[in-house]
């Protein structure tokens, strides 16, 4: 009995020490976020001002923000494993490269599979070169060098099986998206879109009448994506400073709807935040310190209205966007500043800059994605040919985790599950 009491006392001591350690870690993370909150309020080149959120209670929504729980749950992350995909965009044979996510967030290569098409060995300048279905069973990739799009079946071990490759009936496809079994691609060279129905075997069947032009021949699309309810398509047009919308009927047929003037110059990429607000990055012609982001309401009814203008981040070439699982935080890569900005999305959709530079990346960051556990963040560094991994901290912070080197020179697209 004496031995048992000693063992019990020892276990209780260990539990007490671990509990205190966890509490201290949480406090340290909060202090880190507050200390590094961006405070630069200079006017942006587009006559906007950073909408700063320095109030800890406001940004954490009085500690009720679900994103905070994801950061605090250390034990759940220890069992996490997933996969990350990018395409090499190699000339001749385009390949999809597979990376395994480990429990501590670092990546290892799991090989590659040919896409059935060719890349163009150039930067695509787009978000969405790859698209993953919501159930993670299908992956889609553009082949910019052969003017085609490919479909893959995704297996539970992360491997891929090519099921079909089809022409996009245009030139230089750069972005693709999927909603249930409907797939749409946008061509940059020919400035048009095309839709497909995916059958149970993974075959892409073109939808008659879905080949539609953008607002202008020089539109230069940045991204195509469905609205959250799947009833509309949005295409950002970098050269025209417009966001072109299409209505999608129950059979997947798109029809032209409207072209909205972007609030912010050079709309590039976007993602949907809480309550379906659409957060768009504005590269602003790559003017120094001219990057910004805009939040729009009305995405589910094709009636876009900006909430609080183009909110500056004082960085350069703000292009790729990723939103956290619960839609409270947006991360944007700044390609010519070599860093990532973070924004808070308020309950009414207003954007507030938290960190103009939340973390320094490798050279020329492009695509960015948040892991399924809502904790790890990954981005492609296009000039240093690497994937950076980061840990999220409280309230929009990022801390470097690891770097995977040796990815293809013209890698494009980044998705994770």
pLDDT of 256 over the 80 cut? yes
Can you give the pLDDT at residue 161? 98
Mean pLDDT value across the chain: 88
pLDDT in tens, 113-144: 999 999 999 999 999 999 999 999 999 999 99
pLDDT of 20 reads: 37
Domain residue spans of the chain? 36-107+215-416
pLDDT at 35: 33
**164-180 in b/e burial notation, b at 16+ Cβ within 10 A?**
bbbebbbebbbbbbbbe
Top CATH class of 36-107+215-416 equals mainly beta
Q: How confident is the model at residue 44 (pLDDT cuts 50, 70, 90)?
A: very low
pLDDT of residue 240: 98
d(CA 416, CA 83): 6
- pLDDT-derived band at 72 (thresholds 50, 70, 90) equals low
3-state class (DSSP) for residue 56: helix
Indicate if the pLDDT at residue 201 is higher than 80: yes
Q: Can you give the pLDDT at residue 18?
A: 37
The H-or-E segment that residue 57 falls in is: helix 56-59
Q: Is the pLDDT of residue 151 over 60?
A: yes
CB environment 303-342: b (16+ within 10 A), e (fewer): ebebbbbbbbbbbbbbbbbbbbebbbbbbbbbbbbbbbbb
Residue 278, pLDDT score: 98
Q: Among 147, 142, 149, which Cα is nearest to 202's? A: 149
Q: Tens digit of pLDDT for each residue in 329-384?
A: 999 999 999 999 999 999 999 999 999 999 999 999 999 999 999 999 999 999 99
Q: Is 266 left (phi over 0), alpha (psi -120 to 50) or beta?
A: left
Three-state helix/strand/coil letters over 172-225: CEEEEEEECCEEEEEECCCCEEEEEEECCCCCEEECCCCCEECCCCCCCEEEEE
Q: Is the pLDDT of residue 77 over 80?
A: no
Residue 33: pLDDT over 70 = no
User: Rounded to an integer, what distance in angstroms lies between the CA atom of residue 218 and that of residue 315?
Assistant: 26
At a CB cut-off of 8 Å and minimum separation 6, what does 328 contact?
61, 65, 66, 67, 273, 274, 344, 345
Q: Do the beta carbons of residue 386 and residue 411 sit within 8 Å? A: no
Whether the per-residue pLDDT at 51 is higher than 80: the answer is: no
Q: What tens digit of pLDDT does each residue of 389-410 get?
A: 999 998 999 999 999 999 999 9
């Amino acid at each position: 009995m004496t031995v048992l009491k000693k063992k019990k006392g020892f276990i209780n001591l260990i539990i007490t020490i671990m509990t205190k350690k966890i509490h201290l870690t949480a406090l340290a993370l909060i202090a880190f976020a507050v200390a590094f909150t961006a405070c630069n309020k200079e006017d942006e080149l587009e006559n906007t001002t950073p909408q700063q959120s320095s109030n800890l209670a406001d940004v954490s929504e009085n500690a009720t923000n679900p994103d905070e729980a994801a950061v605090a749950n250390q034990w759940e992350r220890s069992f996490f494993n997933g996969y990350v995909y990018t395409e090499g965009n190699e000339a001749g044979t385009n390949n999809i490269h597979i990376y395994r996510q480990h429990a501590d967030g670092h990546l290892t290569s799991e090989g590659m599979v040919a896409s059935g098409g060719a890349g163009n060995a150039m930067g695509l300048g787009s978000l969405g070169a790859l698209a993953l279905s919501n159930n993670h069973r299908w992956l889609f990739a553009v082949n910019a060098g052969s003017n085609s799009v490919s479909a893959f079946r995704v297996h539970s071990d992360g491997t891929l099986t090519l099921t079909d490759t089809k022409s996009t009936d245009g030139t230089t496809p750069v972005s693709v998206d999927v909603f249930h079994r409907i797939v749409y691609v946008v061509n940059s060279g020919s400035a048009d879109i095309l839709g497909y129905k995916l059958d149970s075997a993974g075959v892409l069947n073109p939808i008659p009448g879905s080949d539609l032009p953008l607002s202008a021949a020089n539109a230069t699309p940045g991204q195509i994506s469905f609205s959250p309810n799947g009833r509309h398509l949005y295409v950002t047009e970098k050269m025209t400073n417009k966001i072109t919308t299409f209505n999608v009927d129950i059979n997947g047929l798109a029809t032209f709807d409207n072209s909205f003037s972007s609030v912010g110059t050079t709309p590039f990429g976007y993602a949907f935040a809480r309550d379906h607000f659409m957060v768009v990055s504005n590269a602003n012609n790559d003017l120094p310190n001219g990057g910004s982001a805009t939040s729009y309401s009305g995405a589910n009814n094709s009636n876009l209205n900006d909430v609080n203008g183009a909110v500056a981040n004082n960085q350069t070439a703000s292009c790729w966007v990723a939103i956290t699982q619960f839609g409270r935080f947006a991360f944007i890569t700044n390609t010519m500043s070599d860093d990532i900005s973070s924004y808070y999305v308020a309950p009414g959709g207003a954007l507030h800059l938290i960190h103009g530079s939340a973390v320094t990346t490798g050279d020329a960051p492009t695509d960015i994605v948040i892991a399924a556990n809502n904790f790890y963040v990954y981005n492609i560094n296009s000039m240093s040919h690497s994937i950076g991994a980061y840990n999220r901290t409280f309230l929009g912070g990022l801390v470097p985790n690891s770097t995977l080197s040796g990815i293809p020179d013209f890698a494009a697209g980044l998705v994770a599950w």
